[in-house]
Amino acid sequence: MSASDKVKNQSLHHVVIVGGGFGGLHAALSLGKAPVRVTLIDKRNFHLFQPLLYQVATGGLSPADISSPLRSILNKQQNTKVLMGEVKNIDPEQQKVFLNKGDITYDTLILATGVSHHYFGNDQWAPTAPGLKTVEDALEMRRRIFMAFEAAEKESDPVKRRAWLTFVVVGGGPTGVELAGAIAELAYSTLKKDFRNIDTAEAKVVLVEGLDRVLPPYPPELSAKAEASLVELGVKVQTKALVTNIEDNVVTIRQGENIERVEARTVLWAAGVKASAMGKILAEHTGVELDRVGRVMVESDLSIKGYPQIFVIGDLANFTKPDGKPLAGVAPVATQEGKYVADLIIKRLNYESLPPFEYYDAGSLSVIGRHSAVADFGKVKMSGFLAWLIWVFVHIYYLIEFDSKLVVFIQWTWSYFTRKRGARLITGDESLGQIGVDERGDFFVASKLDAKVKA
Amino acid sequence: MSASDKVKNQSLHHVVIVGGGFGGLHAALSLGKAPVRVTLIDKRNFHLFQPLLYQVATGGLSPADISSPLRSILNKQQNTKVLMGEVKNIDPEQQKVFLNKGDITYDTLILATGVSHHYFGNDQWAPTAPGLKTVEDALEMRRRIFMAFEAAEKESDPVKRRAWLTFVVVGGGPTGVELAGAIAELAYSTLKKDFRNIDTAEAKVVLVEGLDRVLPPYPPELSAKAEASLVELGVKVQTKALVTNIEDNVVTIRQGENIERVEARTVLWAAGVKASAMGKILAEHTGVELDRVGRVMVESDLSIKGYPQIFVIGDLANFTKPDGKPLAGVAPVATQEGKYVADLIIKRLNYESLPPFEYYDAGSLSVIGRHSAVADFGKVKMSGFLAWLIWVFVHIYYLIEFDSKLVVFIQWTWSYFTRKRGARLITGDESLGQIGVDERGDFFVASKLDAKVKA
């Protein structure tokens, strides 16, 4: 770049994007040829294809299979800089974001930092019942799931053994359904021949959902199909059921009048999300309204009230539809929001505008195990094998868009026919990746999350 | 299994194998059809294809690509049990091994617990200069390598930036050569277009070897070829050079009279190994002799003196060749030792014996970067592209033997042509996976190993 180019470049409109998930990344991609400078900031150096994270948690895929380095996705965009770092604060009046060292001035700011788990006031459950948002979360789940079978194999007391072989998944949304289905397949099929002291088919997988059916955002008939598929896989589905306590390896489940105490060493949390800290930071500085779980209430153009140059997109945003409900926190919503905001920024540079954001719902897909899924394309509703095939191809198509993840396709084809799961490694800190014996002589699996709580 | 089968089974000769690396696993596989009971104990639930671990450390492959669950490798062997656990002690008189809970009685014991890094009395270097033996080691190296480029991108001080872009690999054996070659390729080719503030081609990769040439076990002409390939890739090769200190991001290198201080934020250790703790435990109970690095001196049949029912194989064993030198710590040696011991056990059951163990050396292969390798097949010596092709096919052949790692082949073909490296994720503890700022305002990369030392 020549010196005069550099000066020209510096004077270009500067778009700062915080977060490289579906929303932030698609905003950056859509600005690739625009006469702007783009800076994409993310804590991590990769974009994560979160819809397949449950596959990592259950040993089907490796983290790298569903991740792409942000730099390599964006390296052909000469106007785009990627910065690995965390935005700690913002100043909307001076139009600046602050990293842990230094600050960056923006002309337009796009916040897309997403959500984390929500334990509805029971944060003490977090160490026992990890959620699934990051690669590390997925590896921790994978470690716990496979470790539980290892511990059961070593345990001679049948009661304790049963607790190791009991898996409770809290939350019957897409993630909970995917996890429960995948664990059932592990226990009843993949691992069946691998153990000598235990019969993995004796494992119990319980899916607990507070509402009256699984996959609540889907039409009731598809929820019913999903539940039937889960039951066929061997999952015990409990609807209208609330987890009221998780303590000492016992999950207390209240279903109406009925209170059940399930001894389970593995509890996975897929029940709720809350907005990342950025929501609160933004509200402090701009007075913008947050919803019950901390998401930012956005205007019809995804900007925030009084600050047309600040946009919030993806899971962090609460975009209320005409029916009063917010758009779901799914990848297609974030993607379309990112593209819309990019388009709007380009329009504004020409002193033009765009009609309000509208989500085009191409349909929803949710997978249940190795050969079943449900698909809701509005008028067309599907379930079973065909829906599963569509699910597979849609996911591979989107994976390939960023990076050649042909490997995933081959891996899947292979595991479909062999029922093998290749990524079953128990890893982590050496001292944690093991089964210990506590003061009473019982087996335990050391956990990083436990360690944090104790520390 | 019927009750009478069970009783019969219990009375079978019991072979306990500790360690599921190449030695232990091949011993177990060779005993699959023998009239014995086999128990394979490993701390981890997977067999690791260690010769490709440097690929994980440099972002080319995922851990699962080079690992196979021990249980699934062995699940067809009805006489074999896999136990995940750590052997803490042994009692050779009672013929028992002790786990952290319970003990196991053996008729024959095979110890194959391998080696770990050796800092030659400078263990304080471990946090700064991690070695490469486990999956966790590889992920830590990967994190440091990619994080260094990220930190350099953010650093404005040119001196500090240079330190982030300087990589010192200590040890010019196969691992050191592989690491240095792969990092050079990352810097000078793969990452070239990914950064905006730095030119990754300015990175410096230094390989330090104490002897007078790299790959000392190879014939001198191949060492020279390897060095030439490394230099062509951009690696600075320093032979007859000793690292005398690693402190405050400065590596002190003494080369004859010349003392050089290299500022480097990334130092990787590939210089030496020492036997795992099992060697010492065995020596305490049996009086067996250990060598300088703690390896067990074995008899000509790989058993230990005075205890014909205890075998030591693989890297943990020092099997002295007629020329007085020990066999190298490589996979083919361990594999052949495992098979030999299995055969010997079967012979002994029939009151027969076997001639002393003899290693059949099929040749050595070592890779240097994306299209060069050296191969020593005794009379035939090769280097360059053809050697590289042989290296690729040999490694894929052995990977496929255990598990369908076809995926690796496809991944490699792909990255060969695109020069991409897909597994470039910076992962780890959330708080560690980031670039921090210290009290002086300098960037630092939080490290798990640092944390351990501080704790």
Place of tokens 């104490």: B210
A273, containing H or E segment: strand A273-275
> Both B311 and B450 in a single domain?
no
Do A65 and B62 make contact, defined as CB atoms within 8 angstroms? yes
Instruction: Count the helix, strand and coil residues of chain A and give each as a percent rounded to the nearest 5.
Output: 35, 25, 40
Last residue of a domain, one of A288, A323, A349: A349
Mean pLDDT for chain B overall: 89
Q: Is the pLDDT of residue B409 over 70?
A: no
A139 vs B contacts (CB less than 8 Å): 427
> Both A133 and A261 in a single domain?
yes
Do A425 and B134 make contact, defined as CB atoms within 8 angstroms? no
Q: In terms of Cα–Cα distance, which of A143, A142, A168, A149 is closest to A263?
A: A168
Q: Is the pLDDT of residue B141 over 90?
A: yes
> Both A168 and A290 in a single domain?
no
Question: What does the alpha-carbon distance between residue A178 and residue A230 come to, in Å, rounded to a whole number?
Answer: 9
Do A45 and B86 make contact, defined as CB atoms within 8 angstroms? no
Torsion of CA B334, B338, B344, B345, to 10 degrees: 150
C-alpha B152: how far from chain center? 29
Using a 10 angstrom Cβ sphere, with 0-12 exposed, 13-18 middle and 19 or more buried, the burial of residue B427 is buried
> Both B36 and B112 in a single domain?
yes
Q: Is the pLDDT of residue B450 over 50?
A: no
Q: Which of A64, A146, A193 sits opposite B45 (nearest CB)?
A: A146
pLDDT at position A417 is 63
A63 vs B contacts (CB less than 8 Å): 62, 425, 427
> Both A163 and A101 in a single domain?
no
Q: Is the pLDDT of residue B432 over 80?
A: no
Which of the two residues, B283 and B448, has the higher pLDDT score? B283
Question: Could you count the other beta carbons within 10 Å of the beta carbon of residue A329?
Answer: 19
List Cα–Cα distances, A426 to A44, A331, B70, B115, B189, in angstroms: 23, 29, 11, 20, 33
Is residue B357 one of the residues assigned to a domain?
no
Q: How many helices (H) and strands (E) does chain B have?
A: 13, 27
The shortest C-alpha distance from A322 to chain B (Å) reads 38
Do B418 and A404 make contact, defined as CB atoms within 8 angstroms? yes
Q: Which of B62, B100, B135 sits opposite A64 (nearest CB)?
A: B62
Do A422 and B195 make contact, defined as CB atoms within 8 angstroms? no
List Cα–Cα distances, A337 to A65, A71, A299, A313, A319, in angstroms: 25, 22, 12, 6, 10
> Both B158 and B259 in a single domain?
yes
B411 vs A contacts (CB less than 8 Å): 407
Q: Which of B3-12, B117-126, B189-198 has the lowest mean pLDDT?
A: B3-12
Percent of chain B with pLDDT over 70: 86
> Both B312 and B409 in a single domain?
no
Do B134 and A403 make contact, defined as CB atoms within 8 angstroms? no
Last residue of a domain, one of A305, A325, A349: A349
Do B196 and A430 make contact, defined as CB atoms within 8 angstroms? no
pLDDT at position B392 is 83
> Both B306 and B294 in a single domain?
yes
As given in the structure block, the two tokens for residue B106 are: 């053996």
The residues that bridge with B168 in the sheet, in sequence order, are: B206, B267
Question: What does the alpha-carbon distance between residue A367 and residue A270 come to, in Å, rounded to a whole number?
Answer: 15
Do B414 and A406 make contact, defined as CB atoms within 8 angstroms? yes
Is residue B69 one of the residues assigned to a domain?
no
> Both B377 and B244 in a single domain?
yes
As given in the structure block, the two tokens for residue B298 are: 């074995």
The shortest C-alpha distance from B117 to chain A (Å) reads 15
The tens digit of pLDDT for each residue in B99-132 reads: 988 899 999 999 999 999 899 899 999 999 999 9
Last residue of a domain, one of A349, A379, A414: A349
As given in the structure block, the two tokens for residue A281 are: 């930071």
**Mean pLDDT on B276-304:** 97
A428 vs B contacts (CB less than 8 Å): 136
Q: Which residue of B has its CA nearest to A81?
A: B196
| A153 in active site | no
B106 touches B14 (CB < 8 A) = yes
The shortest C-alpha distance from A374 to chain B (Å) reads 29
As given in the structure block, the two tokens for residue A411 are: 């891996």
Which of the two residues, A167 and B444, has the higher pLDDT score? A167
As given in the structure block, the two tokens for residue B347 are: 């012979």
pLDDT at position A432 is 47
B44 vs A contacts (CB less than 8 Å): 425-426, 433
Q: In terms of Cα–Cα distance, which of B97, B75, B99, B70 is closest to B86?
A: B99
pLDDT at position A299 is 97
Active-site pick, A140, A155, A178, A227? A178
A420 vs B contacts (CB less than 8 Å): 72, 403-404
As given in the structure block, the two tokens for residue A97 are: 């974001």
What is the CATH number for B98?
3.50.50.60
Is residue A195 one of the residues assigned to a domain?
yes
Question: What does the alpha-carbon distance between residue B29 and residue B339 come to, in Å, rounded to a whole number?
Answer: 8
Q: Which of B154, B411, B425 sits opposite A407 (nearest CB)?
A: B411
B356 touches B301 (CB < 8 A) = yes
Cβ neighbours for B361, distance < 8 A, ≥ 6 positions apart = B332, B378
Which of the two residues, B372 and B3, has the higher pLDDT score? B372
Is residue B12 one of the residues assigned to a domain?
yes
Question: What does the alpha-carbon distance between residue B65 and residue A424 come to, in Å, rounded to a whole number?
Answer: 11
Is residue A426 one of the residues assigned to a domain?
yes
> Both B208 and B341 in a single domain?
no
pLDDT at position B454 is 36
B64 touches A423 (CB < 8 A) = yes
The tens digit of pLDDT for each residue in B200-213 reads: 999 999 999 999 99
The shortest C-alpha distance from A45 to chain B (Å) reads 6
**Mean pLDDT on B175-194:** 94
pLDDT at position B455 is 31
Q: Which residue of B has its CA nearest to A452?
A: B429
Is residue A53 one of the residues assigned to a domain?
no
Q: Indicate which of B39, B413, B425, B454 best probes the interface with A, i.e. most A CBs within 10 Å of its own CB.
A: B425
Is residue A48 one of the residues assigned to a domain?
no
Regions of chain A where pLDDT drops below 50: 1-4, 7, 430-433, 449-455
- How many residue contacts between A and B have a Cβ separation below 8 Å? 163
> Both B324 and B261 in a single domain?
no
Do B46 and A71 make contact, defined as CB atoms within 8 angstroms? no
A293 touches A273 (CB < 8 A) = yes
Question: What does the alpha-carbon distance between residue A156 and residue B209 come to, in Å, rounded to a whole number?
Answer: 52
A134 vs B contacts (CB less than 8 Å): 430
B426 vs A contacts (CB less than 8 Å): 44-46, 84
As given in the structure block, the two tokens for residue A248 are: 């000492």
Do A62 and B67 make contact, defined as CB atoms within 8 angstroms? no
Question: What does the alpha-carbon distance between residue A78 and residue A176 come to, in Å, rounded to a whole number?
Answer: 41
Do A434 and B43 make contact, defined as CB atoms within 8 angstroms? yes
The tens digit of pLDDT for each residue in B316-365 reads: 999 998 888 899 999 999 999 999 999 999 999 999 999 999 999 988 99
Q: Which DSSP state fits B326? A: B
Q: Which of A85, A150, A430 sits opposite B435 (nearest CB)?
A: A85
The shortest C-alpha distance from A158 to chain B (Å) reads 17
> Both B293 and B265 in a single domain?
no
Task: Tell me the torsion sign for CA atoms B301, B307, B311, B316.
Answer: negative
Number of domains within chain A = 2
As given in the structure block, the two tokens for residue B49 are: 């294809």
Q: Is the pLDDT of residue B9 over 90?
A: no
Q: Which DSSP state fits A14? A: E
Is residue A11 one of the residues assigned to a domain?
yes
Report pTM: 0.89
Q: Which residue of A has its CA nearest to B439?
A: A101
What is the CATH number for A379?
3.50.50.100
Question: What does the alpha-carbon distance between residue A321 and residue A289 come to, in Å, rounded to a whole number?
Answer: 16
Active-site pick, B140, B178, B185, B227? B178
Question: What does the alpha-carbon distance between residue B48 and residue B62 come to, in Å, rounded to a whole number?
Answer: 12
| Phi, psi for residue A303 in degrees, rounded to 5 | -85, 175
Do B430 and A69 make contact, defined as CB atoms within 8 angstroms? no
Residue type, position A364, single letter: S
Question: What does the alpha-carbon distance between residue A58 and residue A61 come to, in Å, rounded to a whole number?
Answer: 8
Do B72 and A136 make contact, defined as CB atoms within 8 angstroms? no
* Residues of the domain holding A244: 123-271+364-454
A429 vs B contacts (CB less than 8 Å): 136, 448
